[in-house]
Amino acid sequence: METQKGFTLIELIVVIVILGILGAIALPKFVDVGTDARSAVVKGVAGAMAGTNAMIYSKASLTAGALGAGPTNVTINGAAVSVVNGFAATTAAMLPLLDLNPATDFNTVTANQIRHANAKTVGATCGVTYTPATATLPPVYTVNVTTC
């Protein structure tokens, strides 16, 4: 008697159905990875802004000695940066040092805000808002990723 080797039609159908169910469950988790990616990029930009501002503060404190009467501009890598209390006066002042790449992914909406240009909601506030330093408070970076 000859023994058959292989799978029956029912076994193959059961495997295909199981794969279909797994695919239907897993697919929605991977479809919207763009939102997570944009959120991560915005958080990275906020970190880059903080690092850039630390560099600006270091340069301003070395240039001035006493920051209260410090300079209003410092030059870093050939870029003139306007400063207030040792930190960048605006987001626009930091842009030459941030090296956002590709630059087309970001919009500077106001002097103190950088938005991700590819947010899924038109006019969304997916971005970072910069509040410049005062005489008593350091700068603040407000990240908004709810509409990314």
pLDDT the model gives residue 18: 93
- Does the model's pTM come out above 0.85? no
Q: Are 95 and 89 in contact (CB under 8 A)?
A: no
pLDDT tens-digit map of 80-114: 888 888 899 888 888 888 888 777 888 876 778 88
Burial 57-82 (b: 16+ CB within 10 A, else e): bebbeeebeebeebbeebeeeeeebe
pLDDT tens-digit map of 24-76: 888 777 777 888 888 999 999 999 999 999 999 888 888 765 555 566 788 88
